[in-house]
Amino acid sequence: MKKSNLTIAVLSGKGGTGKTLLSVNLAAAAETAVYLDCDVEEPNGHLFFQPEITSEETVSAKIPLIDYNRCNGCRTCVDFCKFNALAFIKNKPVLFKDVCHSCGGCVLLCPQKAISEEEKNVGVIQSGMSGQVRVHTGCLNAGEASGIPIIKELLKKSAAETALPVFIDCPPGSACSVMESVKDADYCVLVAEPTVFGVHNLKMVCDLVEVFHKPHGVVLNKCLEEENPAEEFCKEQHVTILGRIPFDSKLGSISSSAKIAVKENNRYRELFSKLLHTIIEEASRETATHPQR
């Protein structure tokens, strides 16, 4: 099926810059949209949307199951494991389930074919509607090593969408879970704070989206009437500035009472609608000039 919709990933180099604020309000401004919460360690978009949950599915990951009758203690699996999930004790491998990243390498390499895989429950995806926004929330079980299996399942929901715009609320930082979250996106929106520390984090995610050749632009959040190091960085590096969100106590109090600014305040409805328009325009232009999929 041909896709005519856009998938927009919202990310930032650290937590607390405004990924959820932006992605929730963009989805709300779009009115009919899909919102994916890929910040599976601490999903919070649902607090704003308060969707009526209509389905919940468990997500599992594969972990090795060792047949000790076939194992001859060659240690190949233990030496291969880069995550230190296997120890070699009294000539037998011992698995530490919580440390395993489900790479499957030990299964492939075992010369005795003594390792198979079993499923381990790692979390759930809750889905439901909030007005005209379809909300999918990934929740990783506490203590699990990796949220990737849940993010993969969330992205399948995005891939199934052919008409509605999809907004992906990414995990913070620039590690594996962020790479997974942005890999299918048509456009990446980077949220930045107006501090030197903010610039450091912005640079990390800029580098990341460039590695993936993703068209991208920056939203400057928490803007004050003074110098903005993140803005200077964008100008120096020729990174598109998509818009600015002011550092405003009104916006803060709307968010802290778990309300969506677009629905509460005309000024913010205008601001986020304009941002959405700019992002769609930029994304459409980029995907038209650099068709990658």
Partner 1 sequence: MKIAIPMNEQSMHTDVCPSFGRAPYFLFYDSVTNEAYYLDNEAVASQGGAGIRAAQVIADRGVKALIAPRCGENAAEVLTKAEVFVYRSIPGTARQNIEAHLNNQLPLLNEFHAGFHGHEKK
Residues at the interface with partner 1 (CB under 8 A): 78, 83-85, 87-90, 94, 96, 99, 145
HSE, side-chain direction, 13 A CA sphere, residue 42: 6
CB of 99 to partner 1, least distance (A): 4
Q: CA-to-CA distance for 80 and 106, rounded, in angstroms?
A: 7
Q: Which of 158, 155, 217, 150 is nearest to 187 (CA)?
A: 217
Q: CA-to-CA distance for 167 and 7, rounded, in angstroms?
A: 6
CB nearer partner 1, residue 84 or residue 132: 84
Distant-in-sequence, close-in-space partners of 236: CB < 8 Å, separation ≥ 6: none
CB of 134 to partner 1, least distance (A): 34
CB of 137 to partner 1, least distance (A): 24
Please, is 103 exposed, middle or buried when counting C-beta atoms within 10 Å of its C-beta (0-12, 13-18, 19+)? Answer: middle
Angle, CA 261 vertex, CA 259 and CA 262 arms, to 5°: 120
CB of 96 to partner 1, least distance (A): 6
CB nearer partner 1, residue 144 or residue 153: 144
CB of 93 to partner 1, least distance (A): 11
CB nearer partner 1, residue 145 or residue 241: 145
CB nearer partner 1, residue 145 or residue 280: 145
CB nearer partner 1, residue 98 or residue 207: 98
Distant-in-sequence, close-in-space partners of 156: CB < 8 Å, separation ≥ 6: none
